[in-house]
Chain A
Amino acid sequence: MTLLQGVFVVTALAAVISAVMVVASPRLVHAALWLVVTLGAVAVLFILLDAGFLAMVQVVIYIGAIAILIIFTVMLTRRVMADSGPQANRAWWLAVFIGIVMFAALLALLAQMPTWWQATPPPLAASADFMIEDLGKSLVDLDRYVVPFEVASVLLLAALIGSIVLARPPAETTGKTGPE
C-alpha cells in the first residue's frame, strides 16, 4: 500500500464514520459539526483527484456557507426538538433496509464494469494552471457548458429571491408568507 492509498483509506474512513454520525447523532448541532468533518474529508478527496479548485470551492461553499447556514437553522429551531426524543421516524428500519439494498445494488452495478476496478489515473496532459483556465473558459464557451452555467445562475437568482420572500416576517400579510 503506497502513501497515497494510505491517505485515501484514512480520509475515506473519516468520511464514512462522520457521515454515519451525521445521520445517527441525537443532537442536531453535533450532527451539523460531523457534517463539517465529512465535507472536509471530501475536500481532501478532491485534492487526491487533482481537482484543487474544486477542493477550495468545497471548503468555501460547503463548509463556509452551507454548513454554517445549517448550524444557524438548527440553533434558530432548537427548542422544539429539545435535543431529546426519538430522532428517527417509525419507518427507520425500512430506511435502513432501503439504504442497504441501494448499496448492494450499486456494488452489483460496479461489478459489471471490470475495467473500472483496476483503472489507474492517466497522467494529466496539462498543468494545474491550464486546467483551471480551461475550466473557466469551458463555462463561458458557447460550444461547451455555457447553457448549464446560465441555468445555474438563473437558479441561484431564483433561490436568492425565493429565500428572501420565504424568510420575510409575516407581519403585513396576516401570517401568509407569499408574494402579495
Chain B
Amino acid sequence: MIPLSWYLILAAALFCIGLYGVLGRRNAVAILMGIELMLNAVNINLVAFWRYLTPALIAGQAFAIIVFAVAASEAAVGLALIISIYRQRSTVIAEEIDLMKW
C-alpha cells in the first residue's frame, strides 16, 4: 500500500511550488493560479489524513468541501477584481497596481 508520507511529501511539494507562484510571478492571474495550487495541496493533506488516521469520522472530506467553496469564491472575486482593475488601469501586473501604496 501507499505510505501516508508519500501523500504528505507530494502535498508539501505542490504547496511550495504554489508559494513560489504567489511570491515570484508578476501577473495577477498567475498569482491566483499559485493560490489554487496551494489550496489543492491542502486538500490532498486533508483527505489523506482522513483516509489514514480517522476514516470513521468524515471530517476530512467535509472540510475539503469547505475548501472547495472558499476556492470558488476566491477565484470569482479575485478574477472580477483583476478584470475591474484591468478596465481602469490597463494592467494586470501586480507591481503596477499601486493604488493603495502609501
Q: Are B17 and A99 closer than 8 Å at their CB atoms?
A: yes
Q: Are B92 and A80 closer than 8 Å at their CB atoms?
A: yes
Q: Are A89 and B25 closer than 8 Å at their CB atoms?
A: yes
Provide the B27-47 mask, 1 if CB < 8 A to any CB of A, else 0.
101101110110010011001
Q: Which of A74, A87, A110 contacts B9 (CB under 8 A)?
A: A110
Q: Which of A22, A153, A166 contacts B33 (CB under 8 A)?
A: A22
A164 CA to B19 CA, complexed, in Å: 29
A8 contacts across to B, CB distance below 8 A: 2, 6
Classify chain B's interface size: 35 or more
Best-buried of B2, B37, B72 by chain A (most CB within 10 Å): B2
Q: Which of B23, B64, B83 contacts A167 (CB under 8 A)?
A: B83
A22 CA to B63 CA, complexed, in Å: 26
User: Which B67-102 residues have C-beta < 8 A from chain A?
Assistant: 68-77, 79-84, 86-88, 90-95
A5 CA to B26 CA, complexed, in Å: 37
Q: Are B58 and A57 closer than 8 Å at their CB atoms?
A: no
Classify chain A's interface size: 35 or more
Q: Are B86 and A77 closer than 8 Å at their CB atoms?
A: yes
Q: How far is the CB of A14 from chain B (nearest CB, A)?
A: 11
B72 contacts across to A, CB distance below 8 A: 61, 65-66, 156, 159
Q: How far is the CB of A112 from chain B (nearest CB, A)?
A: 12
Q: A28-B29, A42-B44 are in contact. List 17 more A-B contacts (CB 8 A).
A: A23-B20, A23-B37, A49-B48, A49-B50, A53-B61, A58-B68, A62-B40, A77-B83, A77-B92, A87-B30, A98-B20, A99-B16, A116-B52, A118-B3, A119-B53, A144-B62, A149-B62
